[in-house]
Amino acid sequence: MHTTTSVFDLPEHLSAKADPRLVEHDEQHFAALSGSLEQTVTSLTARLAAVRRSPAGSGQTAVERDAEIHRLVARLRGLRRYGPDLCLGRTVSDDAADHHVYVGRQGLVDAAGDPLLVDWRSPAAEAFFAATPAHPMSLASRRRYRWHLGRVRNYWDEPLTAAVVDGAAVDGAAEDGHGTLPDARSAFVASLGGSRTGRMRDVLGTIQGDQDAIIRAGSRGTLVVDGGPGTGKTVVALHRCAYLLYTDPSLGHRRGGMLVVGPHEPYLDYVADVLPDLGEDGVLTCTLADLVPEGADAVPEASPEVARLKGTMRMVEAVDAAVRFFEQPPAEGLLVQTAWAEVWLSPGDWTRAFGSPDPGTPHDEALDSIWEEILDILVGKHQDEVARDDDVEGSHRLGRLDGVDEFDVVDDVVDDGLDVDDGRYDGRGHGDSSWPDDGAGGASGAGGVPTEVLRVTLRRDPELVAAVDRAWPMLDAAEVVADLWSVPAYLRLCAPWLSPDEREALRRPAGSPWTDADLPLLDAARHRVGDPTVAARRVRHDATVASEREYRSHVVDSLVEADDDPEGTSVMLRSSDLADALAGAFDTVDRRHDALAGPFAHVVVDEAQELTDAEWQMVLRRCPSRSLTVVGDRAQARRGFREPWGERLQRVGIDEVTVAPLTYSYRTPAPIMAAAEAVVRAEIPDANVPVSVRTGGLPVLYGRLADLHAIVDDWLDKHPDGTACVVGAPDFTTTERVRSLPPQLTKVLEFDLVVLVDPAALGTGLQGAVDRYVTMTRATEQLVLLTPDPT
């Protein structure tokens, strides 16, 4: 039996909360909210249709149009996903009993422009999340709603001042319209016992003050969200993403956007709904393995020692040295012969050319700059040489070299497609018999040979090409790293600090599969080597756009010529605006071939305690601003984490660090936390174990492995909702509600029931203790520990 009104649908045992004195103001407000919501959706839909019909434009106009479409689509998606349940709760001011502020997932105003909902990210909503009885922030009370299928199934009033806490005052307040009913359990604590699904939910309705302070912290520098199991650090970090995107325009997707880096694929699936539910669908999520192509097939590194060596900063430096090995200018010069002169390319010229690329230019991409400098040097020397030795009559000199005819050289170049200006040269014996001297346009060099022809001739010289290829060869990033492990002398040269035993441990046959420990080094190599096709792709893109513009221009001309009306619509296509709209619409090709390459304006790194120094470099390459949200717990580090966060991050190149601790576990009941605490403190006596807010709960159960299926089946029969996880039994079959996972893949996840099979099998020492601690604290209601049957 439910007590139902237009919005409230309260169970019978909560019928007292349906008192009109308590809900009448809400009923009126929700009615106004529904009407305004319908009008707003209609208005935004019309606005979106109008923008889509408008000319695409080009340049800044096109950018602004696309941004407006993106904004309208996102706004409509958020409004259509919810109805009145956009509202999270309300506050009542301590100086005006009739002054209510309603807080929502998005802001909404009525027809007169008065706020019906204030956006949860706005300053006006801050008190809703941050106020406490000790610091009420000028509030008398706060109400939070629990919605189900668009109806309020429950609500909680939290008194924030002494006058409201007193029961008599509350009764009087209800009579004069204050509308406050005290409740022994806050909305937050009441929500903790709800059944889990396969996806993380946003916690907008239950954010606590310490969490809200982290969410609203500025984006400058690096913020470390440090908390144990169940403190909400992951969901807080995701809410922080939505808050920063709302408040800091410099972090928007057109300024770099945001990236969330998680520990594993189940994590990405688990958190997939949080940001869209918060109105943000442009944040990219990935794992470290997703950052390099080889990550898809990488296998775990079997040797802890090899993983340790490959995870150091010094090994990243070895990759740089491995590439630098192929960037040494030749110690000997080269005599370059052309049809007109011989030119000496000295060792100093090689050094000058190799130093010409801009600092930081990747190896392969630098080759174009090197060639340009070499050609500049040779053309200059060639002109000097010809000027000194120009003893042949006329502007067409005979070939300087025996058996070489200069006209054959030029004809070959022209035949291959070089456009030597018509009228000055049209093959042997045709056109004007002289080229102008090389002036501002660089048309011809000394001796009458066009500079363009000379440069192409030099660029094709077999000996010069071979010399450049030997001195600065094109590299493949994966081959560079593979050679380090398969060529002992190469590794010894690039990593001289390694001992013979360490080099032998790193050695592996060519063609061996990549491991997860290789991935940061492959990323470093790819960053250092670069992509030689960048320039070529840019040229192809520009050529395609130019061709499309020309085609559309011809279409416009045809339409205009076919239109008999001199003032007709087709004539309008001659206007610059519409012509640009037609031709420019195609000029929106995304040149980013790798969406995860960055740079990003802000990056969130979850389970950051697990990252090696080399893996941190993968993150920092994509976030040069060092605007980071780092989420982790040192006690959950499988490889150990003894130093403070500040020292740890400073070592990898992050200096501006603020640590924000979370000390209360809202997920894990006290009996489970007590059992898990004993496990982790056996190896980490000073572990920062959080305090459980849920002081009650079921005791930890112990049983035999033979009972596994019966325990899971019995739980499923008794619990029509919720999820379970079996850890340590790889043969257990995963179903819709029961997962089977290794301990490493349970991080961040949570389940109503966790069954840990043979805890001792997870290993001894630090890693085993951490795996048991993490697994045990995934349970939100029931933890079962099973040991093998006696033999």
Q: Give CA–CA dist 7/505, Å, rounded.
A: 68
Higher-pLDDT residue of 345 and 199 is 345
3-state secondary structure of 683: coil
CA distance 324 to 528: 9
Q: Nearest to residue 599, comparing CAs of 271, 317, 250, 311? A: 250
* Range with the poorest average pLDDT among 160-164, 318-322, 489-493, 702-706: 160-164
* Residue 104 CB contacts under 8 Å (≥ 6 apart), including other chains: 86, 87, 88, 117, 118, 119, 120
Distances (CA, A) of 164 to 128, 178, 612, 691: 16, 10, 52, 29
pLDDT digits (tens, 9 = 90+) for 72-90: 888 888 788 888 889 999 9
In a 3-state reduction of DSSP, which class is residue 330? coil
Measured CA to CA, the distance from residue 283 to residue 288 in angstroms comes to: 16
Asked which of 36-50, 133-147, 272-286 is least confident by mean pLDDT, the reply is: 272-286
pLDDT tens-digit series, residues 659-679: 999 999 988 999 999 999 999
Q: What's the chain's length in residues?
A: 791
What pLDDT does residue 3 have? 55
* Whether pLDDT at 171 is above 50: no
Q: What pLDDT was estimated at residue 99? A: 85
Query: How large is the average pLDDT for residues 113-141?
Result: 91
pLDDT given for residue 429 in this prediction: 35
SS3 512: coil
Average of per-residue pLDDT across 143-152: 90
> pLDDT band at residue 789, thresholds of 50, 70 and 90?
confident
| Helix 462-471, helix 451-459: angle, nearest 10 | 60
- Mean of the pLDDT values across residues 556-573? 53
In this predicted structure, the answer to whether residue 507 has a pLDDT above a threshold of 90 is yes
Which amino acids are annotated as binding site for ATP, given as ranges? 227-234
Q: What is the pLDDT of residue 726?
A: 97
The segment with the largest mean pLDDT, out of 171-175, 442-446, 569-573, is 442-446
Token pair listed for 239: 């809410």
Name the residue among 24, 3, 9 with its Cα closest to residue 174.
24
pLDDT on residue 445: 53
Averaged pLDDT of the chain: 83
Is the pLDDT reported for residue 138 higher than 70?
yes
Mean pLDDT along residues 279-296:
90
Known binding residues are 227-234
Euclidean distance between CA atoms 234 and 263, whole angstroms: 12
In a 10 Å sphere around its CB, with 0-12 CB exposed, 13-18 middle and 19+ buried, how is residue 472 labelled? buried
pLDDT band, very low/low/confident/very high, at 553 (cuts 50, 70, 90): low
pLDDT of residue 410: 45
pLDDT level of residue 395 (50, 70, 90 thresholds): very low
Task: List, for residues 258-285, the tens digit of each pLDDT value.
Answer: 999 999 998 888 888 888 778 777 789 9
Q: Is residue 287 very low, low, confident or very high in pLDDT (cuts 50, 70, 90)?
A: very high
Amino acid, single-letter form, for residue 215: I
Neighbouring residues of 686: CB distance < 8 A, sequence distance ≥ 6? none
* This model's pTM is above 0.85: no
With a pLDDT cut of 90, the percent of the chain lying above it is 58
The model's confidence at residue 425, banded by pLDDT at 50, 70 and 90, is: very low
Determine the pLDDT at residue 202.
67
181, burial (CB in 10 Å: exposed 0-12, middle 13-18, buried 19+): buried
Best CATH choice for the domain 670-787 from the list 3.40.640.10, 3.40.50.1000, 3.40.50.970, 3.40.50.300: 3.40.50.300
Reported confidence tier of residue 579, pLDDT bands at 50, 70, 90? very low
Check pLDDT > 80 for residue 205. no
Rounded mean pLDDT of 57-82? 82
Beta carbons of 731 and 705 less than 8 angstroms apart:
no
User: What pLDDT shows up at residue 70?
Assistant: 80
Share of the chain above pLDDT 70, in %: 78
Q: What is the mean pLDDT of residues 218-224?
A: 94
The average pLDDT across 307-327 equals: 97
Q: Which of 38-42, 380-384, 629-633, 684-688 has the lowest mean pLDDT?
A: 380-384
Which three-class secondary structure string do you get for 204-227?
HHHCCHHHHHHHCCCCCCEEEEEE
* pLDDT of amino acid 95: 84
- 361 pLDDT higher than 90: yes
| Amino acid 629: pLDDT | 97
Average pLDDT over residues 456-467: 93
Residue 76 CA to its chain's centroid (Å): 24
| Whole-number pLDDT of residue 185 | 46
Asked if 328 and 467 count as a contact pair (C-beta separation under 8 A), the reply is no
Higher pLDDT, 631 or 95: 631
> How many CA atoms lie less than 13 Å away from 572 in the CB half-sphere?
6
Is the preceding peptide bond at 115 cis, omega within 30 degrees of 0? no
- Which has more confidence, 323 or 402? 323
Q: Phi-psi region for residue 137, left (φ > 0), alpha (ψ -120 to 50) or beta?
A: left
Model confidence at 546, in pLDDT bands (50, 70, 90)? Answer: low
For residue 46, what are its two tokens?
């019309």
Least confident of 327-336, 516-525, 569-578, 597-606: 569-578
